[in-house]
């Protein structure tokens, strides 16, 4: 079968743009995870994303744009929202804004009056956005609820539904973007990511010293992407905060790992950025050891304790959601 993975040269960027123009869907890299993208103005194209991912229709999508100017053409920005965009874009931050566009598909926003937008910090993603010339709706390129892709090969889970996968090698960050929603005198963190509460507080402290920053997890009503309580899950059961794994567990260590223990170290030197970058790939590899090796005695995955501050809190958020899926 012909490979659907292509290098992101000019020829293939043009080919991907043409697929989007014709209502198709493509996978492309960002600095966070790989996204499955469609023309955000095209209802039928956006429907293909939901179908490919088996994603609930009430779970809105993040719209990727080339720059702040493009974002301002489809959404209203308050003073604090504009300040955040100017300081964190391009980068791994999504803002939930008041939608001002009649052209964006209502399927992208799941019928909400708000729209989730970000400007990615990835050369291939920006090149595709510039070439295509329109907003691209793009959630992570995986089956909904399963482990996000940080390598092009991970996106082969969707090979029967996408026409093209642009290969950007390893995603630099490896966790989905931070999602913020601003209100009167406050910033709600709807999903933690590599832009941490500490980062946000440092940036706004001088210009907006009275703004409160709080974590807001999903209630019954979904108001943005990234709020599902079960998500990012490997196929195997997952046990957290484990110091001594059993012989039937594949172990994801944080720090050095004894040679006798089967598994991987998220970061030998306990560096949180490295652990975040490795997390999803190692969850996938652990799954393969359990499910694809007929001689394996492994039955589940165990993960070492991760420090619960800064980026570690975002890693723990993903692990907690991954471990709550009932099987």
3-state SS assignment for residue 83: helix
136 and 281 share one domain: no
Does the predicted TM-score (pTM) go above 0.85?
yes
Assign 49 a pLDDT band (cuts: 50, 70, 90): very high
pLDDT at position 223: 80
Residues 6 or more apart whose Cβ sits within 8 Å of residue 116: 60, 61, 62, 63, 94, 95, 96, 97, 179, 224, 225
187 and 257 share one domain: no
Whether 30 is in a domain gets the answer yes
pLDDT at position 246: 95
> Contact 226/178 with Cβ under 8 angstroms?
no
Domain count, the chain: 2
Instruction: Give 72: exposed, middle or buried? Use CB within 10 Å, 0-12, 13-18, 19+.
Output: middle
Encode pLDDT of 135-145 as tens digits. Answer: 999 999 999 99
> Contact 243/302 with Cβ under 8 angstroms?
no
Neighbours of 271 (CB within 10 A): 14
Among residues 150, 182, 215, the one where a domain terminates is 215
Among residues 151, 183, 215, the one where a domain terminates is 215
Domain that holds residue 73: 5-215
**What is the pLDDT averaged over residues 106-133?**
97
pLDDT at position 273: 98
Q: How far apart are CA 54 and CA 70, in angstroms?
A: 29
Whether 114 is in a domain gets the answer yes
Cis peptide bond prior to 90, omega within 30° of 0: yes
176 and 262 share one domain: no
Whether 198 is in a domain gets the answer yes
Strand 178-183, strand 93-99: pairing: parallel
199 and 286 share one domain: no
CA distances from 9 to 6, 13, 161, 260 (A): 8, 6, 22, 43
Whether 200 is in a domain gets the answer yes
What whole-number percentage of the chain has pLDDT above 90?
89
pLDDT at position 326: 41
Assign 2 a pLDDT band (cuts: 50, 70, 90): low
**What is the pLDDT averaged over residues 155-169?**
96
Q: Describe the crossing of helices 79-88 and 197-204 by its angle, rounded to 10 degrees.
A: 110
154 and 247 share one domain: no
CATH of the domain at 110: 3.90.870.10
76 and 19 share one domain: yes
319 and 181 share one domain: no
Assign 215 a pLDDT band (cuts: 50, 70, 90): confident
- The values of phi and psi at residue 321, to 5°, are -65, -35
pLDDT at position 152: 98
Alpha helices in 109-255 (DSSP H): 123-132, 197-204
Whether 230 is in a domain gets the answer no
177 and 244 share one domain: no
Whether the per-residue pLDDT at 317 is higher than 60: the answer is yes
Q: How far apart are CA 308 and CA 327, in angstroms?
A: 27
22 and 144 share one domain: yes
> Contact 113/209 with Cβ under 8 angstroms?
no
94 and 156 share one domain: yes
Whether 189 is in a domain gets the answer yes
Among residues 182, 215, 248, the one where a domain terminates is 215
What does the radius of gyration of the chain's CA atoms come to, in whole angstroms?
19
Q: How far apart are CA 7 and CA 94, in angstroms?
A: 27
Whether the per-residue pLDDT at 263 is higher than 80: the answer is yes
3-state SS assignment for residue 265: strand
CA distances from 191 to 144, 256, 327 (A): 16, 30, 24
114 and 51 share one domain: yes
Strand 62-64, strand 75-76: pairing: unpaired
210 and 282 share one domain: no
Residues 6 or more apart whose Cβ sits within 8 Å of residue 132: 16, 17, 20, 21, 39
DSSP H or E run through 287: helix 272-291
- Between CA 217 and CA 227, with CA 222 as vertex, the angle to 5 degrees is 45
Encode pLDDT of 64-86 as tens digits. Answer: 999 999 999 999 999 999 999 99
Whether 88 is in a domain gets the answer yes
* Closest to 90 (Cα-Cα) out of 67, 112, 74: 67
Q: How far apart are CA 208 and CA 189, in angstroms?
A: 16
């Amino acid at each position: 079968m012909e490979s659907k993975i292509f290098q992101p040269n000019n020829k293939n960027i043009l080919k991907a743009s043409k697929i989007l123009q014709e209502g198709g869907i493509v996978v492309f890299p960002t600095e966070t995870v790989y996204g499955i993208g469609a023309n955000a103005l095209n209802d039928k194209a956006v429907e293909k994303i939901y179908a490919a991912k088996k994603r609930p229709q009430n779970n809105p999508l993040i719209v990727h744009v080339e720059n702040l100017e493009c974002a301002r053409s489809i959404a209203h920005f308050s003073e604090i929202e504009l300040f955040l965009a100017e300081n964190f874009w391009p980068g791994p931050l999504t803002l939930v804004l008041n939608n001002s566009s009649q052209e964006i598909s209502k399927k992208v926003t799941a019928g909400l009056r708000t729209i989730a937008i970000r400007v990615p910090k990835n050369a291939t993603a920006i090149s595709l956005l510039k070439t295509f010339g329109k907003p691209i709706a793009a959630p992570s390129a995986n089956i909904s609820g399963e482990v996000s892709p940080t390598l092009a090969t991970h996106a082969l889970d969707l090979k029967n539904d996408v026409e093209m996968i642009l290969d950007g090698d390893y995603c630099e960050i490896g966790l989905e973007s931070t999602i913020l929603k601003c209100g009167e005198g406050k910033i709600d963190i709807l999903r933690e990511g590599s832009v941490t509460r500490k980062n946000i507080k440092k940036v706004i402290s001088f210009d907006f010293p009275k703004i409160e920053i709080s974590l807001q997890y999903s209630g019954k009503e979904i108001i943005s992407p990234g709020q599902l309580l079960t998500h990012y899950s490997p196929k195997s059961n997952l046990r957290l905060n484990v110091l001594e794994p059993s012989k039937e567990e594949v172990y994801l260590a944080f720090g050095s790992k004894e040679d006798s223990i089967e598994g991987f170290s998220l970061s030998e030197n306990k560096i949180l950025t490295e652990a975040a970058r490795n997390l999803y790939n190692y969850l996938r590899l652990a799954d393969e050891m359990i499910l694809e090796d007929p001689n394996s005695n492994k039955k589940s995955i165990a993960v070492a304790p991760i420090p619960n501050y800064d980026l570690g809190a975002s890693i723990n958020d993903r692990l907690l959601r991954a471990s709550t899926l009932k099987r």
